[in-house]
Structures are given as structure tokens and as C-alpha cells.
Amino acid sequence: MCKKRHSSHRINLFCSLCAAMLICAFSACSQEHGPVWHPRCALPRSPHPPRKIDWSRENIYLLLIDRFHNGDSSNDSGNHPASHQPYDPALQNEQALKTYQGGDLQGVIDKLDYLQGLGVSTIWLSPVFDNSDSDFMGWWPYHGYHPIDFYRVDEHFGNMALLKQLVDKAHGRGMKVILDMIYNHVAPEHPWVVDQKLWEGAGYKHWFHPHSGVDGSTSIQDWQDQEQLENRELNGLPDLAQENPHVYNFLLDVSKFWIVETNCDGFRLDAVKHISPAFWQKICADLHAFAGDDFLLLGEVFAGETEYVDRYENLGFNALFDIPMYYTINRVFAQGGAMPLLSGQIEQNLSAFQEVLLSQVIDNHDVARFSYWAKTDVPSKMRLATAFAFAQPGIPMLYYGNEVALEGAAATHEQSGAGQDYLNRLPMPWQRVYGADSALVRYTRQVLHLRHAHAALRSPNLLEVYQDYGVYAFIKYTAQEALLLIFSNAATREKRTILLPRGIFAATSSWRELFTNEIYRSKNDSLQVDLAPYAVLMLSTMDRWRPNMLIGKPWRCAFTPRISGDMKWIPFRYDGEARNVAVAGDFNGWSAVQNRMARSDAGTWEISLPLKKGRYRYKLVIDGQRWIFDPVARESELDPYGDKNAVVVVE
């Protein structure tokens, strides 16, 4: 059975364990691997009956507990008064966002009606682990990712009884709850690290990869080096050595403990690319053996390259976040990129992923909010992004505040390089949910409920029927249902003729628009549409059709080189010597091959691209290998690697 912990002070966390460890530091404990972990949960199987869950039917909602809703103000300051400094937009005291803001588990319970009404079926809670009672470089661990006691709920959030109550109440509504598990690191102030009696005496230093504790010498320096990603520290956070069998036993025991204690439905697994694939393969197998195959293991491989994410497909995860599609959705709908980027990413996904579900993301707690990149017409652009993400197969996800297009900032300051994640984690503005942004909330609710109601939206079956620079249309279908989805990314009104595949639908057909119930009619397999700015149409066929004729049909359609009324042709040129030159940036998914320049009669390299009003980062790619700053660019900003991106501003 799992032994419950009753101590009320963190000083007692390791008392009995550490005494035993010190006595046996050089006897029963291994000098090579450090102290042996004695499990608190020795059950061979979870006591909770495994649930059959079709995760492709779920809508996930990520909430940062501290920023969602304050249900109990008595725990706002936790164990340290300085940990809570209320944020007040009127005072512009943004630095307060580096402290706890009062959200807690009671607040989540209080908002279950809202979440269920929105169409959320699975709640992803940010980490509940007990965090350190001090700040780290000026930041308090309100986010939950600095664990110091893996067996307790942080006092700012509540306690284990409250967490159990939340899970039970969610289950009573048919909803699921997944917890955020941290296997990569511990808090910088963890006793195993800072107490020399534990670090040296008990041998906990063997539980970690090299740790400086005084400078950044043991942190990741080269983010393209996989060995560093797996064996160095994330910005100074002590990095657990998962290859150590005692560490593995500890992490497996922690996982079992939370499954048994809470009856949760799955784990979101943090920092997957920072841990060896061998670890993931083993722990995924062990957790599924313990809790059942449908216990969700949702891996975060934070990388923009499909090929990189695909390396982790066959390790036992039920699902992986589709970070490449996140970037594509952001570039197209927030930053005005061309629609073919979406088609290209869909093609990559269909080719790469066969054994795992993908979770579509509009934004999350680690990136700049969608609204920051969108700048203007933010609610309209958010409608497009939400409808597209929730029309993809897999497990689409909302980040709290998406439903009101909550403001954000660059995750890293464009000029200084200083971290600004806290500006993308504003408290949930409940007054806007029921007031100024209620229309966007209602639209989001429609999208989520439509996805529940229409299997075709969840289906992987897709047939493109039209794409140009600003408009994209495709059919989603099952054997029982066909939906025609049309997206216009233009700020202008656009008219298009959509040609439907011959012989599948009646030559003259009626279509019902799911948002408005308006009736559209196609004639001779042709549908005329007059699209409002940033339009989304979801049309359901009302007549008999032939689904069997779609089997084996090529899913892609030809590209029509037509720009929308809000685009301009923007010239790029390069005067240097090269065999070939391409321009790569926000507008093409940073592809080094998609937009190659042509050499003019004057010897310069030139290309013109259709861009909307906005601000775009880019580089020139010389000979397919050398990425350089455009020497004639008028503006620049720092890139993530200490160099500069060129910036073009389209007025």
C-alpha cells in the first residue's frame, strides 16, 4: 500500500529516510549509484480499475493552478509572506507576476461548471508538487516546476484531500484530470543538493548529472547537442540521472503514488527531449502495466521539426504535443503566413506519425501567447486558430485564456534577451469571460461542442479541395458524415469558387453551416462563397453522398497562386556570391528550401513574396547551409542562439 505523509513542515520531509541513509551510506547504499530508494508504493497494479478511454474524443484545457482562480485566499502566501505579491494592471506592477497570485485547487473546483460548459472534457493541471519556499533568481515557483517534495501538494494550492476531491468531482461529471509529472530535475534548493550531509554523506550526488550550483558551467550551452540536452542542466536546475537505477525506482514510485492517491487519468510528461529515450521506453511500459494502456502518457517534445518529434513516437507514449503544427498555426493565423504552410505540415504529420496521437496547441505556458504575435484583429484570428486546431485529429488543447485571447509578450525580450514568461501567465480575467470577451467565449464553446458532436471533425480523413495564399478548404469525413471546412485568413472580404470532387456529392447539394444554420447550395459540383474577413465555414452536407468513392483518392489538391486583398508582394534581394540563396522566416515556417531566390541579369539574387501587414523575422540561407543576417535589413532582433534575425515590416 502507499504510505501517506502526515508531516506539516518541510523540515520533516527527509527525517526518517535521511537518518537511515546516513547510517548506511557506505554499506547497503551503493557508492556508485548513491542511496537505494525504498518505495512508498509497492502495489503491483493500481487499485483503480483501468478505464477504457478514447483520447481522440477529448478536448484538453491546460490551466496554471496559480493563475486560474483563487478559491481560498487563506493559502495565498503559503509558508513565506514574500511569495505572494498581488498583480494589479492599474499599477503596472508586472514584476509581481514572478510571485504567486493566489490560484488554487479550490478555485479549479469552483470553476468546474464553467469548464464543462465550455466543452472541456480533460483538465491538465500544472504541477501540484510541493515547491521550494524561496525564489530562484527572482522568480517564485508559482508554476510548479521546482519540486522539493514529490509526495506533497504545495501549500499555495491546497492539499491532497482537495486534489482528490477535484478528481472525484471531475469524474462525477464524466471529465478527466491529468497531472503534470517532472522527471528531469529538482528545485535548486532541494535538500539532496544543498545539504552536504545528503549530497556527499548520503551520496545523493550520484543521483544527478554534474551540478555546479554556483555558475552556469553545468547548464546546457549548445541546444543543438543531444548529449547536452539529456545530461546537462536546464538553466541551473539540478538534473536527475535517470539512468541510475535508484533514481528510476524513485521516479516510478512517485508516479505510482500519485496514481494511487488521486485516481488521475494520465500524466503530461515534462521535458521529454531532455531525458534519454531508453528511460521513456521503460517508464511508459511500467506505467501502462501499472495503470492500464489507456492511462494517458502525453509527452512534451519541444521541437519545431517533425523529424525530431517523430524520434519519440514508438517509445510508448499515447500522445505527443504537435509542436511543429503549433508553429505553423501561429505563423499562419497569428502572423499572416500563407495557407499552404498548413497543408505542408498536415502532409508531414500524415507521413511521420502512425502509432501515436498528436495534441494540437494554439499556445501554452512556455511560449509567447498567440495574441502577442497576432497584434491586430486578435479575436478574429483566435477564432480561426481554434477552429482549425479543433478540426484536426488527435487531442486538441486550449491554454487558459485562449477563450478571451489573453494578452502576452515575447517569451524572451527581443533586445535584452531577458526572460518574460511571466507576462504570458496573466491571471485569468474572469470579468472579461462574462463581459467584454463573452462573444469569443461563446464561439470557443461552439467549436468544442461541435467537435464532441461531429466525428468527422475528429477523423484523420481529409480531402483538400482548394488552397491559395489566403484561403484553404478541405473535406473531413467518416463513413456517415462529410463536412466541408473553409478558412479565410484574409482581413479583406474574399469571393471564391470551390470545386467539389465529381461523383461524390450530388451535382446540386444543400449544405448547412454548423455555426449559423445558414443553408448553402452547390451547383454542378461548384460552391460559390462570399467570405467575410477571417471567415470560418463548417458546412455539413444535407444530401446523400458516396463515401466509398473517397477511399484511395489523393488527398492533396493543386495550389492556386492567388493572393488575398490584404497581401502585398514584398521584394528580397542579396548581392553576395553564392551557388543558391533562399529566404527563410516566419512567413514560410523557416524553410530553407521553400522560397529560393532567382539570379537576375544584373547578378543579384531576388524574390518577391506575398505578405500581409505585420512584422516578420527572417534570415538568408546561403548554399543551403549558412544562415545569415540580411545586410540590407532595416530592423533586427535577437535570435535564440545569440545572433540576429533580420526583420521586415509590411505597412
44: exposed, middle or buried (Cβ count in 10 Å: 0-12, 13-18, 19+): exposed
Report the pLDDT averaged over residues 572-599.
92
pLDDT digits (tens, 9 = 90+) for 166-212: 999 999 999 999 999 999 999 999 999 999 999 999 999 999 999 99
pLDDT band at 8 (very low <50, low <70, confident <90, very high): very low
What pLDDT is recorded for position 21? 38
The superfamily in CATH containing domain 568-650 is Immunoglobulins (2.60.40.10)
Q: Do domains 458-550 and 568-650 have the same CATH topology?
A: yes
pLDDT for residue 33: 94
Q: What's the rounded Cα separation, in Å, for the pair 574 and 505?
A: 50
Euclidean distance between CA atoms 200 and 191, whole angstroms: 12
Interior/surface letters 202-225, b for 16+ CB within 10 angstroms, e for the rest:
bbbbbbbbebeeeeeebbbeeeee
Residue 20's pLDDT band (cuts 50, 70, 90): very low
DSSP string, 17-74: HHHHHHHTTTTTSBTTTBSPP--SB--SS-SSPPPP--GGG--EEEE-HHHH--S-GG
Q: What pLDDT is recorded for position 30?
A: 60
Across 462-479, average pLDDT: 97
Range among 564-568, 589-593, 642-646 rated most confident: 564-568
Query: Which pTM was predicted?
Result: 0.92
Q: What pLDDT is recorded for position 410?
A: 87
Is the pLDDT at 472 greater than 50? The verdict is yes
Distance CA 166, CA 262 (A): 9
pLDDT at position 414 is 67
Distances in Å between the Cα of 115 and the Cα atoms of 60, 102, 508, 630 are 10, 19, 41, 47
Residue 29's pLDDT is 54
* Class of 458-550 in CATH: mainly beta
What percent of the chain has a predicted confidence (pLDDT) above 70?
95
What's the grid cell of residue 438? 463573452
Q: What is the pLDDT of residue 372?
A: 93
Q: What is the CATH number of domain 12-454?
A: 3.20.20.80
Task: Give me the pLDDT at residue 163, please.
Answer: 98
Q: How high is the pLDDT of residue 588?
A: 84
- 16-34 average pLDDT score: 50
Contact 582, 620 (CB under 8 A): yes
Q: For 21-30, 317-326, 443-452, which range has the lowest pLDDT when averaged over its residues? A: 21-30
pLDDT at 415 (0 to 100) = 67
Residue 2 has pLDDT above 60, yes or no: no
Calculate the average pLDDT of the chain. 93
Once rounded to an integer, what is the mean pLDDT over residues 119-143? Answer: 96
Q: Please compute Rg for the chain using Cα positions.
A: 26
pLDDT digits (tens, 9 = 90+) for 529-564: 999 999 999 999 999 999 999 888 899 999 999 999
pLDDT of residue 484 exceeding 50: yes
pLDDT of residue 302: 96
pLDDT score recorded for residue 50:
95
Q: Which residues of 575-600 are buried (b: 16+ CB within 10 A; e: fewer)?
A: eeebeebbbbbbbbbbbbebbebeee
Q: Is 303 helix (H, G, I), strand (E, B) or coil?
A: coil
Contact 204, 198 (CB under 8 A): yes
Looking at residue 139, its pLDDT comes to 93
Q: Is the pLDDT of residue 620 over 60?
A: yes
pLDDT at position 589, please? 77
For position 507, what pLDDT does the model report? 85
pLDDT in tens, 232-267: 999 899 999 999 999 999 999 999 999 999 999 999
Exposure on the CB side of residue 333, measured as CA atoms within 13 A: 31
Residue 456, SS3 per DSSP:
helix
The DSSP symbol for 558 reads P
| Structure confidence at residue 613 (pLDDT) | 87
Q: What is the pLDDT averaged over residues 22-28?
A: 37
What is the per-residue pLDDT across 406-441, written as a single tens digit (0 to 9) for each?
Answer: 999 988 876 677 889 999 999 999 999 999 999 999
Domain ranges in the chain?
A: 12-454, 458-550, 568-650
Grouping H, G, I as helix, E, B as strand and the rest as coil, residue 278 is helix
